[in-house]
Amino acid sequence: MYKILIVDDEKMIRLGIKAMIDREFLDVFTTETAFDGMDALEKIQNDKIDILITDIKMPRMDGIALIKQIQCMEIPMPATIILSGFDDFEYAKAAIKCRVKDYLLKPVKRHELYQDLEDILNELKVNNQMAFQHLDEFRANQLNYMLLNPNLDEGKIVDLCSNMQIEAYLEGYYVGVVKNCKKIDGEVLLGRIKDFFKTEHRSDVICFLDKDEHVVVITKDNMFVELNEFLGKQRYFSYSIGVSEKKQKLNALREGYIEAIYSLKYHFLFPANQLVFYEHVKGKPTNLTIPVDILKKVVNMIGTEREQEIKLHLLKVLDYDKIAKNNITYMEALSKEINHIIFENTITKFGKESSDVTYLYEKIQDIYNFENFHEYYRDVEELLLRLHEYHKKLRQVYSEQKYMDKALRYIEENFSKDLNLAVVSNYISLNYSYFSHMFKEYTNQNFVDYLKMIRINHAKKLLADSEYKSV
């Protein structure tokens, strides 16, 4: 609600104006009265006044002097309406110089007063909205600066909070981070969360977007269960919330943010839990050793006939039950080793044969590109088996080329003899039917035609030789 101060040395007038305003704007304005400029100035120094309605002629300090005194103070100037029982141009000029909203003659006409108040109210709403938007943007910038700079001293943090109009949370506060689903614009999620706190009449809660488009929430009460229920009812929203332990001092804000981000990571392992509190996940053990030897075995099996063993080894490495009992940092480190030992070497050695492989490879670089552990496991296995099949094909091609090179050399050296497909296939120790198919694929000719071509080419060479021309 907005506050109005009515200043007039005549009691009946100031009480009459107060009654008119209370009758029409009871849910919009609270009204106070003062009997002259000195009394009004004291009230203005002790409380924020949004609208000032003041008589001009008063004892001790008149209305114009009061306005000038307020303008010299380091406070926002209230929207001002001048009252006067004198239709005097000099008073009007003085009022104009003081930038008053209107100049009303006594006795005050109800409809004129109401119209002035409606105009001022609309202006106040617009100004307040702009001020809130500016304050929100300023707070977001300054709070992100605090979160990104770990070496700020306590004095600097107190100064920043004072500039942002953030008072100390005497009973402590919590920091929550709501992870933004990539399908939702960050501003949309921020707006929904602000709407929730408005419906709860919580103007003391601070919400803003961090550098990753996640919504950071600072609140003195742990209202995140209620927020989780609210967001859970929103259509098309996919989110998770991490919440810090209770903090006491403002210089612990960054620590609270780090705790909330850390808690948020556990949604990867426990996707059914949209809301994760730091106190429930802190201190988890890190007693697992990364199985580097198994990862290296998997690399050596790629491209062989040991696909089932590859799957079993991957299942052993990514054992969900063991991983879920440990600190999330183990999963992060394990993922990096999988990328380094298996995929970096394999991709470098054998290339990226398709855009699908490239996409999967880039996606698994960060486990938090996935909604949960099981999606990550599925894509890691898929990429591994794709590379495995690709490698098998390469080995097969190399093997076939080795056999064919040997067969073609034998034909070249023995073309004058009684050769047939069976003789050559026996020589290189390949199945007759398989060799027949492979030979045609490799040379684009059947064996008989290829042998004729070799013999004709050699005959041409002999004819071209002068030693045989006369024969």
Summarize pLDDT for 280-303 with one digit per residue, the tens. 999 898 888 999 999 999 988 988
Cα separation of 167 and 281, whole Å? 30
Q: Indicate if 143 and 277 belong to the same structural domain.
A: yes
Cα separation of 142 and 136, whole Å? 10
pLDDT of residue 348: 63
Q: Indicate if 307 and 335 belong to the same structural domain.
A: yes
H helices within 149-275, ranges in order? Answer: 154-163, 186-199, 224-232, 253-265
DSSP string for 306-375:
-HHHHHHHHHHHT-HHHHHTS-HHHHHHHHHHIIIIIIIHHHHHH---SHHHHHHHHHTT-GGGSSSHHH
**Residue that terminates a domain, selected from 281, 310, 334:** 281
* Count of other CB atoms within 10 angstroms of residue 127: 12
Q: For the chain, give the mean pLDDT.
A: 86
The whole-number average pLDDT for the span 31-49 is 93
pLDDT of residue 142: 85
pLDDT band at 468 (very low <50, low <70, confident <90, very high): low
Q: Indicate if 13 and 76 belong to the same structural domain.
A: yes
Q: Indicate if 275 and 298 belong to the same structural domain.
A: no
Q: Is 33 within a domain? A: yes
Give the count of domains, the chain.
4
Does residue 226 register a pLDDT over 90? yes
Does residue 469 register a pLDDT over 60? no
pLDDT in tens, 369-396: 998 999 999 999 999 998 888 777 766 6
pLDDT of residue 17: 95
pLDDT in tens, 320-350: 999 999 999 999 999 999 999 998 877 765 5
The residue among 45 and 97 whose pLDDT is bigger is 45
Phi, psi angles (nearest 5°) of residue 428? -95, 5
Looking up tokens 């300023």 gives 138
pLDDT in tens, 137-177: 888 888 888 888 888 888 888 888 887 777 777 789 999 99
pLDDT of residue 101: 85
Task: For residue 97, give Cα distances in angstroms to 13, 71, 168, 369.
Answer: 25, 12, 41, 62
Task: For residue 396, give Cα distances in angstroms to 305, 389, 402, 464.
Answer: 11, 10, 10, 40
Range of the domain at 463: 414-468
Q: Indicate if 243 and 370 belong to the same structural domain.
A: no
Quote the tokens at residue 88: 């005097």
Cα separation of 411 and 394, whole Å? 26
Task: For residue 167, give Cα distances in angstroms to 64, 172, 205, 264.
Answer: 35, 11, 11, 27
Q: Is 86 within a domain? A: yes
Q: Indicate if 185 and 102 belong to the same structural domain.
A: no
Encoded amino acid at 462, one letter: L
The whole-number average pLDDT for the span 451-463 is 87
Q: Indicate if 31 and 149 belong to the same structural domain.
A: no
Q: Indicate if 302 and 377 belong to the same structural domain.
A: yes
pLDDT band at 92 (very low <50, low <70, confident <90, very high): low
Q: Is 246 within a domain? A: yes
Q: Is 270 within a domain? A: yes
The whole-number average pLDDT for the span 433-447 is 79
Q: Is 180 within a domain? A: yes
Q: Indicate if 94 and 203 belong to the same structural domain.
A: no
Q: Indicate if 271 and 356 belong to the same structural domain.
A: no
Q: Indicate if 330 and 240 belong to the same structural domain.
A: no
Identify whether the C-beta of residue 346 lies closer than 8 Å to the C-beta of residue 421: no
pLDDT of residue 147: 87
Encoded amino acid at 161, one letter: C
Task: For residue 123, give Cα distances in angstroms to 68, 120, 128.
Answer: 22, 5, 8
pLDDT of residue 203: 77
* Count of other CB atoms within 10 angstroms of residue 452: 12
Q: Reply yes or no: is the peptide bond before residue 107 cis, omega within 30 of 0.
A: yes
Q: Is 287 within a domain? A: no
Q: Is 148 within a domain? A: yes
* Count of other CB atoms within 10 angstroms of residue 37: 26
**What is the percent of the chain with per-residue pLDDT over 90, rounded to a whole number?**
45
pLDDT of residue 376: 97
Q: Indicate if 443 and 344 belong to the same structural domain.
A: no
Quote the crossing angle between the two packed helices 110-148 and 154-163, to the nearest 10°. 160
87 Cβ neighbours under 8 A, 6+ residues apart? 105
Q: Is 429 within a domain? A: yes
Instruction: Identify the CA nearest to 401 among candidates 439, 429, 431, 434.
Output: 439
Instruction: Identify the CA nearest to 49 among candidates 26, 71, 79.
Output: 79
Cut 0.85: pTM above it: no
pLDDT band at 132 (very low <50, low <70, confident <90, very high): low
Phi, psi angles (nearest 5°) of residue 52? -115, 125
Strands 206-209 and 215-219: antiparallel
Quote the tokens at residue 197: 């706190």
Instruction: Identify the CA nearest to 262 among candidates 368, 364, 112.
Output: 368
| CATH code where residue 158 lies | 3.30.70.270
| CATH code where residue 98 lies | 3.40.50.2300
**Residue that terminates a domain, selected from 89, 108, 127:** 108
Cα separation of 196 and 458, whole Å? 90
**Residue that terminates a domain, selected from 281, 302, 334:** 281
